[in-house]
């Protein structure tokens, strides 16, 4: 008996709370039964606007929905917005026979039913066998990757009362503006006036999270367009498993990894600080097989990393940005504040951070005169008044031990000054810092030359 009660409870929430925006600017709140069709909606909305149901158009996601469309098929979520506008089609009320025939073909299926899976390749032939589109987004509200829903609005007045002339065929159509034309149903005269009729009205595509209840028309999500549903059952290039969804790299070959291996790839590159600071795209990675022109252009894809890893990603990205912009990072332990100094001044104060004042050249405390790097062999002070156990003392130093180790075991890359350790092999060094890659000689600490090769390649 108890179980029956539970079942009863679940059915109560089986209505959709929907907002209907009308062309006169008002918004109606309605509870819809998902099994209703659009004709039912028109019959309810029409009288509230003082119109006949036949005089209404219901617009959703760039499509005028036909009377026979069932609400449940429209990927509407709780609090979604439908648009109701008055149609300009001649409606003949008296001649009922002609009237029903005329309206038969008006409107279409919702976009989620007609849209095919988008590819990066624009030349792909229009194929009816192609599966329906699935979208993945990064949702800032849910703080995770979620399924997404594609929505359409007017490029000029941003109104959702807009119908497209054709479905987007590729990701370029969706991501770039002014690719798909349509009809603004909000204030068409205004939008056409803005344009002086010199160009057609264009559609703007955007995404919403399919998981949480819509927080309004501004509640958008970032499309993770490299994440696809694995409709062709492509195995992951790293683990060989066929997974779903997958990440398709933007290289010509379209290499595929599963999301788990993408995560391993990113965290491994992050650990080695091998992300690349791209001038246009930001701190990013190419295809793991090293294809040309394969950088990930939308860095929100790195939101697929765990929270702490993403925090580290942001930290590294900021640091690389500061360094690339000619800035310095505060050398004080646990500070690392990014500072972009003005001019060539050698004296830098960590303002807004720890307050440390240091020398730009040697990154030690600020000093007058030339930089004087202390000799690591000569660090112990002879004139100590206290008797201190030297072993204890060596263990109780604030980060001194690692400083000494770095100084003793590394040499700076002649180009970017990154302390570099040589753990074997020949004297030919290639700087591992991402974006540097300088070829240098461990012996001469200068660029690697043929002479180095001849005289001391192997030491």
Partner 1 sequence: MAALPRRIIKETQRLLQEPVPGISAVPDESNARYFHVIVTGPEDSPFEGGLFKLELFLPEDYPMSAPKVRFITKIYHPNIDRLGRICLDILKDKWSPALQIRTVLLSIQALLSAPNPDDPLANDVAELWKVNEAEAIRNAKEWTRRYAMDN
Q: Which residues bind partner 1 (CB under 8 A)?
A: 237-241, 255, 257, 261, 264-265, 267-269, 271, 288-290, 424-426, 457-458
Strands 135-139 and 63-64: unpaired
**Backbone φ and ψ of 27, nearest 5°:** -125, 130
Token readout for 332 is: 């004080």
Three-point CA angle 68, 72, 75, nearest 5°: 110
When the beta carbons of 122 and 241 are compared against partner 1, the nearer one is: 241
**Backbone φ and ψ of 283, nearest 5°:** -80, 110
Q: Which single residue is written with the structure tokens 């929430």?
A: 13
Three-point CA angle 115, 121, 127, nearest 5°: 45
> In the bound complex, what is the minimum distance in angstroms from residue 259's beta carbon to partner 1?
14
| Cis-peptide, bond into residue 220, ω within 30° of zero | no
> In the bound complex, what is the minimum distance in angstroms from residue 304's beta carbon to partner 1?
15
When the beta carbons of 91 and 305 are compared against partner 1, the nearer one is: 305
Three-point CA angle 430, 434, 436, nearest 5°: 55
The DSSP call for residue 198 is S
When the beta carbons of 214 and 420 are compared against partner 1, the nearer one is: 420
When the beta carbons of 271 and 397 are compared against partner 1, the nearer one is: 271
Residue whose C-alpha is closest to residue 286's, from 226, 229, 233: 226
When the beta carbons of 211 and 260 are compared against partner 1, the nearer one is: 260
When the beta carbons of 71 and 261 are compared against partner 1, the nearer one is: 261
Residues 186, 204: contact at Cβ < 8 Å?
A: no
For residue 312, give the H/E element and its range: helix 307-324
When the beta carbons of 239 and 406 are compared against partner 1, the nearer one is: 239
Please list the residues that pair with 248 across neighbouring strands. 256
Query: One of 426, 436, 441, 452 is an active-site residue; which one?
Result: 426
Cα separation, 218 vs 197, whole angstroms: 28
> In the bound complex, what is the minimum distance in angstroms from residue 447's beta carbon to partner 1?
19
- DSSP codes joined into one string, 392-422: HHHHTSSSHHHHHHHHHHEEE-TTT--EEE-
The angle that helices 307-324 and 259-271 make with each other, rounded to 10 degrees, is: 50
Whether 426 is catalytic? yes
Catalytic residue numbers, as ranges: 426
């Amino acid at each position: 008996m108890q179980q029956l009660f539970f079942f009863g409870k679940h059915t109560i929430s089986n209505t959709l709370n929907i907002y209907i925006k009308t062309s006169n600017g008002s918004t109606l709140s309605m509870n819809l039964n998902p099994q209703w069709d659009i004709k039912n909606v028109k019959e309810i909305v029409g009288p509230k606007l003082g119109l006949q149901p036949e005089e209404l158009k219901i617009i959703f996601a760039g499509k005028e929905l036909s009377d026979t469309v069932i609400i449940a098929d429209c990927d509407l979520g709780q609090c979604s917005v439908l648009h109701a506008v008055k149609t300009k089609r001649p409606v003949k009320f008296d001649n009922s026979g002609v009237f029903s025939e005329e309206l038969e073909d008006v409107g279409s299926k919702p976009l989620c039913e007609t849209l095919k899976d988008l590819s990066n390749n624009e030349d792909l032939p229009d194929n009816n066998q192609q599966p329906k589109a699935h979208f993945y987004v990064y949702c800032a509200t849910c703080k995770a990757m979620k399924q997404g829903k594609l929505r359409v609005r007017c490029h000029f007045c941003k109104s959702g009362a807009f119908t497209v002339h054709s479905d987007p065929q590729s990701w370029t159509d969706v991501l770039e503006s002014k690719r798909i034309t349509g009809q603004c149903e909000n204030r068409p005269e205004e939008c056409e006036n803005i344009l002086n009729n010199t160009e057609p009205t264009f559609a703007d595509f955007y995404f919403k999270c399919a998981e949480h209840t819509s927080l309004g028309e501004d509640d958008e999500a970032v499309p993770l367009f490299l994440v696809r549903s694995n409709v062709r059952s492509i195995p992951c290039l790293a683990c060989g498993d066929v997974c779903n969804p997958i990440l398709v790299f933007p290289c010509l070959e379209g290499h595929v990894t599963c999301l788990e291996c993408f995560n391993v790839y990113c965290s491994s590159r992050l650990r080695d600080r091998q992300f690349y600071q791209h001038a246009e795209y930001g701190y990013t990675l190419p295809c793991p097989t090293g294809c040309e022109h394969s950088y990930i252009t939308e860095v929100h894809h790195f939101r697929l990393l765990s929270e702490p890893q993403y925090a580290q990603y942001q930290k590294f990205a900021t640091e690389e940005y500061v360094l690339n912009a000619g800035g310095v990072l505060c050398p004080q332990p646990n500070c690392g504040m990014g500072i972009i100094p003005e001019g060539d001044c050698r004296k830098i104060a960590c303002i807004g951070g720890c307050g440390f004042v240091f020398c730009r050249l040697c990154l030690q405390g600020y000093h007058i005169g030339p930089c004087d790097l202390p000799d690591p062999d000569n660090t112990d002070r002879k004139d100590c008044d206290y008797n201190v156990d030297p072993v204890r003392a060596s263990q109780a130093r604030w980060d001194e031990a690692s400083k000494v180790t770095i100084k003793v075991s590394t040499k700076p890359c002649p180009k970017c000054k990154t302390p570099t350790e040589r753990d074997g092999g020949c004297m030919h060094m290639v700087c591992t810092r991402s974006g540097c890659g300088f070829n240098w000689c461990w012996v001469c600490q200068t660029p690697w030359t043929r002479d180095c090769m001849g005289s001391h390649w192997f030491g």
